[in-house]
Amino acid sequence: MSILVLVVDDEPDVEALFRQQFRRDLRAQRFVMDFAVSAADALARIAGSIEQTLVLILSDINMPGMTGLEMLPKERRPDVPIIMITAYGDPETRRKAMEGGATGLLTKPIDFTLLRAEIDTRLGQA
């Protein structure tokens, strides 16, 4: 059974950026990184992740259709932490994310050293 990190973002270059940042981990098969281009797509992937152990969801907040904040209460895996990603790290956005059930909030540009530490923590708990 593989360990899965799901990244949800509508920007087309996000997948390439994350694959580049975590290329050694992905090559070493420490975990699998999957990508969803919308909140609706993410919810479908979460429901279908039976053969994989989902350990972390990273979701952009501002996406067309359903936002990342709107996705939070619809996500039915309370055992899986969700970290929201936004360009706007203001206190109101942070409050809404935390009240909605997010575990944390990262601002863009993403601090990949901090994110790697978070993923390592989740891998240790899996």
CATH number at residue 92: 3.40.50.2300
Instruction: Assess contact for 9 and 60: CB atoms under 8 A.
Output: yes
Contacts of 5 (CB under 8 A, 6+ apart): 31, 32, 33, 34, 55, 56, 57, 58, 119, 122
What domain range is 114 assigned to? 2-125
Return the percentage of the chain with pLDDT > 90, whole number: 75
Residue 59 clears pLDDT 70, i.e. is over it: yes
Total tally of structural domains belonging to the chain = 1
What average pLDDT does range 81-87 have in this prediction? 94
Task: Name which of 54, 59, 100 is nearest 80 in CA terms.
Answer: 54
pLDDT of residue 52: 81
Instruction: Assess contact for 83 and 57: CB atoms under 8 A.
Output: yes
Helix (H) or strand (E) holding 8: strand 2-8
